[in-house]
Structures are given as structure tokens and as C-alpha cells.
Structure 1
Amino acid sequence: MEIDGRIDLHGMSQDQAHGALSGFVRRAWHEGRRCVLVITGKGTYTGGVGVLRQSVPRWLADASLRPMVLAVRPAQPRHGGDGALYVLVKRRRDHHR
């Protein structure tokens, strides 16, 4: 599947990243994008798992974003591997026709 958009949260605080991710997913859904790349970064050099890497899947499962998200998958190495996720965005159903 082709990547229709990407956002790099790497280096942001949790609050900044949560707001940016939420806005990005909403825009992607409104614009009919189907597969977007979310770059979280891999975490610390000491081997700890990054805070954003742990938080992003939880945020995507929140009630506010869940209706727009079809699936979340780990990215392939060429797209960031462990430091990135593919987010498959649901098709928008317009009931105003």
C-alpha cells in the first residue's frame, strides 16, 4: 500500500506529539488518505523503549481516534522499522448524500 502522508513525532514532548498525532489522523481521514506513516523514534540509546513508541498505539486506540483507524502495523525497515508505524485509515462514509 502506498503511503499517503507522514508525520514525524520524534523529539516532541508527549503533549505536543499527542496533539499533532490527533490532528494528523483527523486530517488524513477527512482528506481520504488510506495509509499514513507515523514516526515515533526508537527510544533511548540505553535500550529503553521510547515513550512515544509506547504511547502512540494507545492514543490511536482512544475513543476519539478509534472510529477513524482501521489498523496499526509496524513499519518496514525502509520506512523506519521499529521507530515507525503504518496507520491504516478507515474510509470516510458520508451520510449527507
Structure 2
Amino acid sequence: MQEDDNDFSLFAQEVQGIRPLEKNEVYLGKKQGDVDFVERQKAALIAKVEDRNHLSQDYVERVDPNDMLEYKRPGVQDGVFKRLRQGKYGVEARLDLHRKTVEHARREVFQFVEDCMRNDIRVGIIVHGKGDRTPDPTNQATIKSFINKWLRDLDNVMAFHSAQRHHGGLGAVYVLMRKSEQARLENWERHQKR
């Protein structure tokens, strides 16, 4: 009982001089109960995009800052891959990941590929940097390592290769996207007219 009295007197000392707020002293900007449906809709759309993003940021096999990145799915013609490697396709979209965290880069890479597909962009470039200026050698080429993993995990990426020197060299990668259904149909029609 003595301890309860001490707690009560300590609490009373702490709240001494506090007065209740008048009803009109608090302004929240909206009437209580109003719901901003536009903000809720935006949040729901962002959550949907996040839910579809399956790219992992768990374990990644490390690459060296000076390693060349290259990958092609089965079915990609050798000539197409050679032209990509040589930088002979026009780059239609660019994503720069310098100074991005792994989580930020993960979201941006996923969105970049989605945007390219939605806009019928066939070739893009992702500038990831080499990551060789990081003082901690175990942390070098982190984003580059994740790019190497993530692009393989995206079904709409058909191939990728480290860029030519004038496009960023080993600090950037060309990305070949899958043809959209519309582009496939147009290509088929064009070849049928010959």
C-alpha cells in the first residue's frame, strides 16, 4: 500500500500544472471521420505493386566490380545477343541506380522493367556502378551483384550484357526485354506481306 501511495504522489508531481485542452484548440485539418479516399487508393496501388515485386534481397552471389555481366535465355538468337553485347541496339530507356539502397534499387528495377513492357521498349540500360569505391571490400559491387540476380529472375528480361565503354562499361548493363504481344503481331504481319 505504501508503494502505491508513492507511485501516486510521483504521478501527481509529474502532471502538476497540466490543464485539459479546450475542444476547439485541436485542429486535425479534417472533420473526424472524414476519409481521404484518394490517398487510400494511392496507398493500395503502391501496395499492389509491392506485392507483385518478387525480387529478393536476401542472399546474393557476389560479383567482382570488374566482372562482366552476361545472360541470355534459351531461344534468344546468337546474332541478337551479339548485337546487344556490342551496343548496336538503340537504348530507349535508362535507369540510374547510383547512390541507391538495395531496397530502393529493387523497387526501381522491378518498376523499370514493368514500364518498359507497358511502353513497348525493347532495349534499356541500367547504370548500377561498379561499386569499387566502397572502403569495405566485403561490400563492394553490392548493387551490381543484385542486378545480376534480379534480371535473371524477371521473366520479361530476355538477355542482358555489360555495356560498351561509352555507355558506362562494367558499371552499366544493356537489358533486352521480351517483345510485347502487340509488337510480335506487328512483326508477324510485316513478314507475311513480303
Same fold flag (TM > 0.5): yes
Decide which of 14, 33, 36 is 2:102's aligned counterpart. Answer: 14
Higher helix share: 2
RMSD, aligned CA: 1.8
Amino acid at match of 1:35: V
Please tell me whether residue 83 in structure 1 is matched to residue 83 in structure 2.
no
1:70 alignment counterpart: 158
2: CA distance, partners of 1:76 / 1:32 = 23
Please tell me whether residue 52 in structure 1 is matched to residue 143 in structure 2.
yes
After TM superposition, what 4+ stretches of structure 1 lie above 6 angstroms from structure 2?
Answer: none
2-11 vs 41-50, greater mean Cα deviation: 41-50
1: CA distance, partners of 2:136 / 2:158 = 30
Secondary structure of the residue that 2:161 maps to in structure 1?
strand
2: CA distance, partners of 1:35 / 1:18 = 19
- Pair member with larger Rg: 2
1: CA distance, partners of 2:90 / 2:152 = 23
Decide which of 85, 92, 96 is 2:180's aligned counterpart. Answer: 92
- What is the identity percentage for the equivalent residue pairs of Structure 1 and Structure 2? 30
Instruction: Extract unaligned runs of 5+ from structure 1.
Output: none
Deviation, 1:44, is: 2.5
Amino acid at match of 2:172: A
Q: Deviations over 1:42-83 (max 9, x none)?
A: 113259541011110201112xx22x1110111000000010
Instruction: Extract unaligned runs of 5+ from structure 2.
Output: 1-88, 183-194
Please tell me whether residue 31 in structure 1 is matched to residue 119 in structure 2.
yes
Deviation, 1:19, is: 0.2
Higher RCO structure (Cα 8 Å, ≥6 apart): 1
Please tell me whether residue 42 in structure 1 is matched to residue 130 in structure 2.
yes
